[in-house]
Every structure is written in C-alpha cells, then in structure tokens.
Structure 1
Amino acid sequence: MKKILIAIASIAFASCGPELPEIKPDLITESTLHDTDDPAIWVNKNNTEESIVFGTDKDTDGAIYAFDLDGKIIEAKTLRGMKRPNNVDVAYNVKINDSVTTDILMFTEREREQIRLFSVPDMKPLDQGGFKVFQEKRENEWSLPMGISIYKSPKTNKTYAIVGRKNGPKTNYLHQFELVPAGDYIEFKLVREFGNFSGEKEIEAIAVDEELGYIYYADEKVCVRKYQAEPNVNNTELSCFGAETFNRDIEGIAIATYKNREGYIIVSDQQEHTFNFFDRKTNEFLFAKNLGTTETDGCEVYTGYLNEKFPNGLFVAMNDNKNFYFYDLSKIIDAK
C-alpha cells in the first residue's frame, strides 16, 4: 500500500510541475566540450568578485572547467585531460603540514578509479597523481567513483572526503576518507564504510551540512538518505525522506545555510526539470521551483554576498546543454 501511495503522489507532483512559473537565470556560462554534470563554488575570501565556479565535463576527454562570475571560462584555472570527472567539491583552510593550509578542490575521476585533489586558486596537484578507491571488487562498476563531498569537522578540524560509486553493496556503499597532511601533499586514510543502497539505480549526489553534522545523499529512485557526518559515531540511517515529492531520479543536492541553523536542502527532480526545497532543520518538503534547466544532475549554492549581480547568494545548476545556469539566490527564494 505504501508503494502505491508514493506512486500516486509522484504522479500528482509530476502533473503539477509544468505549471510552475519559470525563473530565468541571471546568466548562462560558456559551453563545455562534452557533458556538464556537477558544480562547486569557491569563494575568494579576499575578493569575492574573483570567486570561481568549477564544473565537471563528464567525458573520457573530460575536464574541470573554471568559470568567473560572468560565466566566462578561466582557461588558466581549468584542468583538462581528465578521464570522466564526475562530481566536485571545495573546502577551505585544509592542512598540508604543520605550518601550511590551503583551499582545495576535490573530484572523482571515474575511469581512472580515483580521487583527485588540487589547491585553489593556484591549481597545484596535492595527491601525487590520484588516490585509488573501491579496489576491493573491480567488477560490476563497484570500483568506479562518482559522487563526492567534503566534510570539515567543527569538532576536530579534520577534513574528510565522502565518496560514492557507480554500483555497490546494499550496505556500506559509501567510503569516508580522512585527509592526512604529508608535507607538500595529502594522503587518504579510510576511516569509515557506511550507507544503505536500494539497488534501484545508483548514488551520485552527496552533500554535507557541516554546521549540523549531517551527510545527505540521493538514492536516485528511492529517497534522500541522511547520516551523521562524524566517522566515529554509529552508522544508523537517520532518515530516508522526500520520495513522494519526486517524479523519478533524485539528483543534485545543495544546502543553503543561514543564521540560527535556518536554510534549505535543495534537490534536483531530474525528469521533472525542477528543484524541491526541504527545510534544513526538519527535512520537511516546502515547495518546488522551475528554474528552466533540463535534466539537471548537480547543483550548488552559496548564501553570502559575491558581487553586484549576486548580492544575496548564488545558485548554480547544471543544464543539459553543455553549460551551467547562474541565479541570484534571493530571486529564487522570493519568487511566487
């Protein structure tokens, strides 16, 4: 009966999706060569107008594109020659050794079965060419990394990578690695295996709410799953929510954070071409928005000031036409 009710609710949401008014982007980026997938926003704390939006171009001849806030490609910051880079994330003030910290860019390189790690904004490799993951069973796509998100613990100041894969077991689908300073590079130490998987499709989108200490990931045809982010706590799933609000594939996840722990968990409803907004505290569904993108995989959000065009935050969404859409965040939130 529960499955029937979910199916009915999904049909109801699908039928109302096209009636949502379309919110136009403030700008559309220059095109990549192949297939955009996932963005990450690096905020230049010294000059926010020089912040960078990174985006994956998911192909054997792939790249991590760097865009300025006008959507123009920054060739000097773009990483080419990557073998199907999938998802990307950034973090700030990560220790390299006892005296040096740097901002970092991390992404999965699926066809090479590894994680890549670079400093930002100088784009220097910090990983000795890449770190292999999921090598215990190199068949049935179990060894192919896809989703990735970074968690910097407020409690310990340690930094972790949470990584998913194309296919895997029904339990312990994700791996969590500690980033260990090693002089002029970083080593990866496996500290946790966790996460349920339905087996229905795959898990790609992963996002971390650092302040509240939660990991969210999309079991694409089932729900958004929620776990504790600290690796030394139990691996019990906290919730599996949102199923009835999606048409089919649950994709990119972005967490909009505000004061007093307010905010939104924003999730792409891929086949509906819309985004579902959930309350950050309660995970209750609030509303959906039509942003005009098609078949969105990844999305990302920043809630602070960047420049005159994005004074109230930036929302970035992948669009299925080799580009990304940029939105003034307040225009999305306030739209009726």
Structure 2
Amino acid sequence: MKRIIITLTVALMLLSCKDSLAPVAADAIKATVITEPTPNDTDDPAIWVHPSNPSKSLIVGTDKEVGGGVYVYDLNGKIVNKFIGMQRPNNVDIAYGLKVGDAVIDVAVVTERNSNQLRVFSMPDLKPIDGGGLAMFEGETEEDYRDVMGIALYTHQQGTEEQKIYAVVGRKSGPSSNYLWQYEIKGKEDGTVEAKKVRAFGTYSGKKEIEAIAVDNELGYIYYSDEMAGVRKYYADPFKGNEELAFFATTDAKRDHEGIAIYKTGAQTGYILVSDQQENNFLVYAREGNNGNLHQHELLAKIPVSTIECDGADASNANFGPPFEKGMLVAMSNGNVFHYYKWEDIQARIDAAIQQPKN
C-alpha cells in the first residue's frame, strides 16, 4: 500500500509540473545556436564583448550544482574554458575596466550559493582573483538569508572621477525591505579584489525569491524580478536613494518572472526582456518607458521562444559578425544548455506585436 501511495504522489507531482509548464509554441523563435551541454544544470548567462574583435566575444554561464562551475562558450556554442568544483554557482554578470593593482581588467562575478560568497574572475582567461571568495550578507542569521543567488554589476562613471564597479546581490530569502545588498568591488595592490557594502535596499513580496537582477548602466537603473509578483525598479547609484521607481509586469506572467535582459537601440531607447518561465515566453517592455514617463513600463509584446523554463538571460546590441550583426539574446534552457538568438528575429516579433491593433 505504501508503494502505491508513493507512486501516486510522484505521478501527481509530475502531472502538476507538466500542467504548470506550457509546451514550446509552434511559432516559437528557434535558437540560432544551442551550446554544448554542461554536466548538471545551467542557470544564468552573461555576454563578454571582445574589445577589438566582437566576433571573438564569449558567453559565460553557470552550472549550478555542488561541484558545478562557470563555463565559457564561443559564439558557436562550443565550451572553450571552465572553472569547476564550486559550491553551487548561481548567477553571473560581467563588468569592464576594473583597476586591480597596476592592471585594468574585465571581470566576471559569480554568486556561490552554498559558500555565501561572490567569486570574481578576470576575463577572458577566467582566473580567480578573489582570494578564495568574498563573504556576502555578513551578520544575517535567519535561514537562507545568506544564500546568495542573483547578481548584477553596475559601472558608475561621473566626469573625471575614477570608475566604480558595484555588485547588486540577491539571496534565497530575506526581509520584506532591504532584501538586496549593494557592494563596491575594489581592486587591491596585490592583484586581488575586495567588496565593501554600501547599502541595503529593495522591497520583497515574500512570494518566492529574488534571483534575476539587471542594471542599465547608461540610464542608471536596477531592475529585479520579485518572482510571482512583478518587476521592481530602483536607482543604481547608491547615493540617489532607495525609492522604488516602478513596479510593473504584475499581471503579465503566468507565474514566475525570471531572467531580465536589456537590449539598447539608442542612448535612451531599447527593450527590457523578462522571462515568463512557465509560458516559455519573453515579456517585452520599453526601456524608455511609455507616454513620456521613464518609469511607466507597459507590456509591448510576448515573444515565444524555443527555450524551456528559462531562468537567466542577457542581451547585447554589439555587431558580433554573422549571424549576429545586430546583436543577440542569450537565454538559459532546460537540457543544460543556453540558446543564442539573433536579434533580428526578436525585433521582427516585437515590431509585429506593436503593429497589431489594440482591443
């Protein structure tokens, strides 16, 4: 009898999962490139743009199990480098031009969940420069309050001041306010880096967690997915205050709001793309806002894609050469892979949705 009950329970769980996840739509955009698989479970990608030859750019992605790591792919989806044996790496982001000792380098910063740390790697060689890791959420004692998950990097440059790089870090669980902590990442003379907390901010609904975070460097905004609630927007500059500027997409997703990618079409224009995880869609919003209001973000389009249950995503408008002359969207998918989409395919669907008459 016990075996029958267990079997029935498992069957019901599988049926529930199947019902909550939509199939890939017949008209979904097909990936231009699908990466080689990792051994465990991919989660979040970030695009590193080569400074002189964008066709040599790289995609950095996490494989989020204990013993997993950070994988580097070329634009053909081939794994070209990796750093493994980590304690459940979760999310990753890229920043350019960090002064470390006598050098100025690009960095990939990764959350390592089970060690409650950030890991920092030089790019493109993927060498650790963090002295073993940077402790996060120190002093927190509640369960899961130190389990780092989401990350986005903000590069602040004002006039002739020295460039500063900040990490905005999320966690598995936290309080209803001050859920995110922001740290300045600073290089040291010995060639390593350190992190200094500069603020805590951010509302949390308590419905699930906050993992996906994105920063618009040029406009100076942070966006994050409060899963099952919506997308929240704040100033990226820690000295501009902690006022919530917008809370949108509250009714647009089937359930979980996940990965956020920003594609720029001009100095102040472009798109914010949010993974609608259970529908295998991307929700699209105007980067510049709507109706002359920078903080009013209305749904422009729902774009069906071939990714299944997408967590993390990233986008770039760089000319990477054929077939990505207009840039690309990179999205995680089930199957331990990432999907690359040429931007022209995404843009065509956005244009078609905008041109449709509204009810």
Check whether TM > 0.5: yes
Equivalent residue in structure 2 for 1:94, among 94, 98, 102: 98
Take 2:300 and 2:27, find their aligned partners in 1: how far apart are those partners? 16
Q: Deviations along 1:202-223, whole A, 9 cap, x unmatched?
A: 0000000011000000000101
Equivalent runs, 1:231-242 vs 2, <5 Å: 231-242=238-249
1:229 aligns with 2:236: yes
* Secondary structure, counterpart of 2:240 in structure 1: coil
Equivalent residue in structure 1 for 2:50, among 44, 53, 56: 44
Which residue of structure 2 aligns with residue 117 of structure 1?
A: 120
Equivalent runs, 1:17-96 vs 2, <5 Å: 21-74=27-80, 77-96=81-100
Q: How far has the Cα of 1:233 moved from its partner?
A: 1.6
Q: 1:210 to 1:17 in 2, by over 3 A?
A: farther
Moved more, 44-53 or 244-253: 44-53
Equivalent residues, number:
320
Which residue of structure 2 aligns with residue 7 of structure 1?
A: none
Contact 2:47 2:94 in 1 (8 A): yes
Equivalent residue in structure 2 for 1:285, among 299, 302, 327: 299
Take 1:64 and 1:124, find their aligned partners in 2: how far apart are those partners? 11
Which residue of structure 2 aligns with residue 142 of structure 1?
A: 145
Take 1:70 and 1:40, find their aligned partners in 2: how far apart are those partners? 15
Equivalent runs, 1:248-263 vs 2, <5 Å: 248-263=255-270
Which residue of structure 2 aligns with residue 324 of structure 1?
A: 338
Letter in 2 for 1:78: K
* Secondary structure, counterpart of 1:330 in structure 2: helix
Contact 2:24 2:306 in 1 (8 A): no
Contact 1:24 1:291 in 2 (8 A): yes
1:128 aligns with 2:125: no
Contact 1:267 1:275 in 2 (8 A): yes
Q: Which has the larger radius of gyration?
A: 2
Take 1:25 and 1:168, find their aligned partners in 2: how far apart are those partners? 36
Which residue of structure 1 aligns with residue 16 of structure 2?
A: none
Letter in 2 for 1:120: M
Which residue of structure 1 aligns with residue 309 of structure 2?
A: 295
Letter in 2 for 1:328: K
**Consecutive unaligned residues in structure 1, runs of 5 or more:** 1-13
Q: How far has the Cα of 1:21 moved from its partner?
A: 2.0
Contact 1:91 1:103 in 2 (8 A): yes
Q: How far has the Cα of 1:137 moved from its partner?
A: 2.3
Query: What CA RMSD, in Å, does the superposition of the two structures yield over aligned residues?
Result: 1.7
* Secondary structure, counterpart of 2:238 in structure 1: coil
Letter in 1 for 2:318: G
Take 2:177 and 2:56, find their aligned partners in 1: how far apart are those partners? 42
Take 1:261 and 1:54, find their aligned partners in 2: how far apart are those partners? 26
Letter in 1 for 2:100: I
Which residue of structure 2 aligns with residue 309 of structure 1?
A: 323
Q: How far has the Cα of 1:17 moved from its partner?
A: 9.6
Contact 1:296 1:317 in 2 (8 A): yes
* Secondary structure, counterpart of 1:49 in structure 2: helix
Take 1:35 and 1:167, find their aligned partners in 2: how far apart are those partners? 21
Which residue of structure 2 aligns with residue 8 of structure 1?
A: none
Q: 1:71 to 1:219 in 2, by over 3 A?
A: same
Q: 1:275 to 1:17 in 2, by over 3 A?
A: farther
* Secondary structure, counterpart of 2:65 in structure 1: coil
